[in-house]
Chain A
Amino acid sequence: MPELGIVDIREIIGAVKSDFDYDFGNYALTSFKQRLERIMVLYNICTAEGLIMKLRSDNDFFDTFLYEITVPSSEMFRDPSLWRWLIEACFTGMVDKSTGKSRIWLPACVSGAELYSLAILISEAGLLDKVHIIASCLSNKSIELMKSGFYDLKKMEVSVENFKRVNSAKDLSIYYKSGHNFALRDTRLIQNVEFLRLNINFDNAPQNIRLILFRNSMIYYNPTQQEKILHVIYNSLSPSGYLVVGIKEKISGINTGRDFEIVNETESVYRKRLFS
């Protein structure tokens, strides 16, 4: 297994910045190093120079790089108690009374685990035609994967268990088919989803969002990038819109914390303050 030193990582970050205008300099170092080393194993690359050469010589590889560098959610319906809270406390008052519509944004999709989990519950709440879901991600490969419905079969077992704990009256198996080593999710759930490619700073982020599901993504940033992205998130939320982050992410320590109030501490749910 290749092992990268700090100098190697800086070289890769520098090359990606100069060639593609993506600056990973404010990603958390340890996990970023792990992701780079993982890509090198997957594509049989032994050195930092080898990875840089591959990025420069193979036009399609940068999209793959962006896909592999981001960490997908570990499973569907991770933290069932959060999903229960969404059903009971959030979805009910979701739709704007004057327009009859609402917007949800998932800023950092990779495999669609969060997207399909959300779409299933929105569908069960009878809100699929009222709620506009926006799924954004770094790579085209992610978008293709999500649209295809393919999912890692190994992650299905824990997802099924999670779904039982969400207390749905249904069994998760009605939403997917098992293949030889893959699961195929019901793509009708996502036929109205808007897919967006955004860069790592979320330039041109969607606006007027009622709920942002952004769990366990900021853990891959350093505090500088966390602050920058939280600012974007704040601006995207509608007044008193909800932000959900991972249960071990705390945004109050980050500079923009005063703009959010905590709604549910156990599940890490925040709300944009009306007046700040």
Chain B
Amino acid sequence: MRLKVFTGNGFLVEKMNYKAVIIGGSAGSFQVVTRILNSLPKSFPLPVLLCLHRLKHVRSGFVEALSLKSNIPVEEPYDKVMVWPGKAYLAPANYHMYIELANRIALSTEDTINHSRPSIDLSFVTAANAYREKLIGIILSGANKDGALGLKRVHDNGGVAIVQDPADCEVKTMTQAALQLTQVDFVYTTDQIINFLIKLK
């Protein structure tokens, strides 16, 4: 729900009652995600769900690398953990990461989709079902089409759909596929994505 609220000094601000941010990325997205996590305030008011393509058999290293410069804690969630604001949840290697209606993470070892596990589409679709219009979905640089269907679902359910500007991407395929399928709300550079996120209250 988006409420227009007058602050004490009479300025009109848009108060958005979001519940989560979900970010999907593949080749070329690591630097972008690192910059985003490095720019968020420690008190960022929403959970950040990260579904990034990664090597299936390499279990460790990724979350540690993302944590180095992040202002909020980053974890690879265990199955059925609660989702908390101000934390980032990275889909673990070789698992799909779903969001359950009860605001918990659910993991799955079901078949790969478009050769991917984690599948960005599955994370986005389940998050869109759980958070409806209170979700912000962001698709970043990547070399395949995963995420396009998921972002469409975020948009169809009333959430905000953001795509990294293909001109700003190391690899354009994923963002172009998302733009082809959905009339997104914003096409942003990395800096603009960060500006958008840090203004969220």
Contacts and interface: CB of A to CB of B under 8 A. Distances in A.
Interface in B155-172: none
B98 A78 contact: no
Contacts, number: 71
Contact of B106 (A31, A158, A165, A247): A31
B154 to A, nearest CB: 15
B77 A248 contact: yes
Contact of A250 (B79, B108, B110): B79
A216 interface: yes
B69 interface: no
A35 B76 CA distance: 24
A30 B100 contact: yes
B117 A249 contact: no
Interface in A189-223: 216, 218-220, 222-223
A248 B76 contact: yes
A153 interface: no
A78 B94 contact: yes
B15 interface: no
Nearest to B78: A250
Given A78-B94, A162-B57, A28 B106 contact: yes
Contacts of A80: 57
| Of listed B56, B57, B80, residue having the most chain A CB within 10 A | B80
Contacts of B59: 79, 247
Given A78-B94, A165-B57, A248-B92, A71 B107 contact: no
Interface string A16-40: 0000000000001111001100000
Nearest to B77: A248
B101 interface: yes
Contacts of B7: none
A210 B73 CA distance: 39
Contacts of B92: 247-248
Nearest to B111: A74
B110 A31 contact: yes
A220 B95 CA distance: 12
A218 B107 CA distance: 10
Given A219-B79, A248-B77, A248-B79, A29 B109 contact: no
The bracket for how many chain B residues form the interface is 20 to 34
Given A78-B94, A247-B59, A248-B95, A30 B110 contact: no
Contacts of B122: 34
Interface in A27-77: 28-31, 34-35, 71, 73-74
B176 interface: no
A73 B109 contact: yes
A162 B94 CA distance: 13
B144 interface: no
B190 interface: no
Contact of B94 (A74, A165, A226): A74
B126 interface: yes
B78 A216 contact: no
Contacts of A29: 100-101
A226 B25 CA distance: 32
A219 B56 CA distance: 18
A223 B57 contact: no
A77 to B, nearest CB: 10
B110 A71 contact: yes
A73 B117 CA distance: 13
Interface in A135-162: 158, 161-162
21 contacts: A6-B101, A28-B100, A30-B129, A31-B98, A34-B108, A71-B108, A74-B110, A158-B57, A161-B57, A165-B57, A216-B107, A219-B79, A219-B107, A219-B108, A219-B109, A226-B80, A246-B79, A246-B107, A248-B92, A249-B79, A250-B78
In the complex, the 8 A-B pairs of residues with the closest C-beta atoms, listed nearest first: A30-B98, A219-B79, A250-B78, A74-B109, A216-B109, A219-B107, A31-B108, A28-B106
Interface of A: 6, 28-31, 34-35, 71, 73-74, 78-80, 158, 161-162, 165, 216, 218-220, 222-223, 226, 246-250, 253
Given A31-B108, A219-B108, A248-B79, 10 more contacts: A28-B106, A29-B100, A30-B126, A71-B110, A74-B110, A74-B111, A165-B57, A246-B79, A248-B92, A248-B95
